Structure 1
Amino acid sequence: MAVEKKSRDLVTNRKARHDYHILETYEAGIALSGTEVKSLRAGKGNLKDSYAGVEKGELLLYNMHISPYEKGNIFNKDPLRTRKLLMHRREINRLFGLVKEKGVTLIPLRVYLNERGLVKVELAVAKGKTLYDRREDIKRKDAEREMEKAFKEYNMR
């Protein structure tokens, strides 16, 4: 019997699945200060233009915006600072090998709280979609929607 893990999404990157082909996903921890965690729990994060990269053997997250916590005063950090992602060395080396390929990048899909209350990041190894691919996806979704609508009308008779 499978036990379903409970997690609460704090921030999602909805545009990522539209702009990229998702090849693989990984879970990583993230090094945050206390005020950043409080701000994320309040829903004040943004993953819009963020990406991850391997630099000097460390996995780093760039351009993730976490608004300053209102009651944080001097403990608040820079909202756009580079944050360290926490993964095993073997996984970081594997990601580094994948990212060296042309057109492959690391994109954060969501930031969430796991069942133990820790903040985690779901990272995706992704390949950018071309304009043609995006148009194909839109056509396919429209066709599915039309078929669903027609099927619903047919069953209502």
Structure 2
Amino acid sequence: MAEKKKNSLISFGNVAKNRKATFNYSIVDKVEAGLMLKGPEVKSLRLGRATINEAHAGEREGEIWLFNSYIPEYQGGFFSKFDPRAPRKLLLHKKQIFKLLGAISRNGMTLVPLDIFFNSRGIAKVTLGLGQGKKKADKRQAIADRDWKRDQARLLRNKF
């Protein structure tokens, strides 16, 4: 049988995930937002080469923007020059923007990008988490809980 050649492009699914976000913040609410990109940025995203570990979202001129996300330059095209760390506009409804900005200003919450993905229609989206920063003791408790669950699963696995 002929093997099917694996395509390196991501048609839909996760492109980048911020794994530290749920450790550093307790996520209260999640919002899915569109991501305004240029052509070469989309091609680079489809190769799955983006990182959002140091990224954050914030307000600029009454709109929500994604800051410090890294999308490297696409190497396959002629007009592929863009700033890899440029701020990118997030597409949300006005009600969602007002709700998020109110939570940020009143409650001291933070907008944290959790992941970038392509939906079933091939549109780039960002999942934003409205999070409250965890204290050091909360982080230690999370580590202890995770270790206990791992040990518990190991004990149950060895028992049977």
**TM-score of the aligned structures, taking structure 1 as reference length:** 0.90
Question: Is contact 2:67-2:88 (8 Å) kept?
Answer: yes
Question: Which residue among 92, 95, 110 is the counterpart of 1:90?
Answer: 95
Residue identity opposite 2:138 in structure 1? D
Question: Is contact 1:10-1:112 (8 Å) kept?
Answer: yes
Percent sequence identity over matched residues? 37
Are 2:15 and 1:13 aligned?
no
Question: Is contact 2:73-2:80 (8 Å) kept?
Answer: no
For structure 2, the residue ranges without an aligned partner over 5 or more in a row are 1-10
Task: Report Cα offsets for 1:9-36 as digits up to 9, x if no partner.
Answer: 0111111111111110000001100000
1:48 offset after TM fit, Å? Answer: 1.1
**Could you say if the C-alpha distance between residues 102 and 94 of structure 1 is closer, same or farther in structure 2, counting changes exceeding 3 Å?**
closer
Are 2:109 and 1:104 aligned?
yes
Supply the distance in 2 between the matched residues of 1:96 and 1:84 (Cα, whole angstroms): 15
Supply the distance in 1 between the matched residues of 2:27 and 2:12 (Cα, whole angstroms): 21
**TM-score of the aligned structures, taking structure 2 as reference length:** 0.89
Supply the distance in 1 between the matched residues of 2:83 and 2:77 (Cα, whole angstroms): 12
Are 2:132 and 1:127 aligned?
yes
Q: CA RMSD in A?
A: 1.5
For structure 1, the residue ranges without an aligned partner over 5 or more in a row are 1-5
Supply the distance in 2 between the matched residues of 1:70 and 1:48 (Cα, whole angstroms): 23
Residue identity opposite 2:101 in structure 1? F
Aligned to 1:3: none
